[in-house]
Structure 1
Amino acid sequence: MKSDFKKLIATYSAKHGQFSVVTVPTLQFLMIDGHGDPNTAQSYKDALTTLYPVAYKLKFFSKAELGQDYGVMPLEALWWSDDMESFTSARDKSRWDWTLLNMVPDWITQEHMEMVRQVVAKKGEAPALESLRLEPLEEGLSVQTLHIGPYDHEGPVLEEMHNNFIPEQSLSMTGRHHEIYLGDPRRTAPEKLKTILRQPVSQNTK
Structure 2
Amino acid sequence: MELIAVTRPDYFQGEGKLINALFEAGLQLLHLRKPENDETRFMRLMLEINPDYYRAISIHQHHELANMFSIRRLHYPEKLWKLTSQQKKTALFAAGFHLSRSVHQWGPPADTAFLDYVFFGPVFNSISKVGYQSIVERNFYLSAVPQGLKVFGIGGVNADLFQELQRMNFDGAAVLGALWNHPSGALKEFEKMLKSLEEKRDVN
- Whether TM-score is above 0.5 comes out as no
Give the structure with the higher percent strand: 1
Instruction: Please identify the structure whose Cα radius of gyration is greater.
Output: 1
Give the structure with the higher percent helix: 2
TM superposition score normalised by structure 2: 0.27
Greater relative contact order (Cα < 8 A, sep 6+)? 1
TM superposition score normalised by structure 1: 0.26
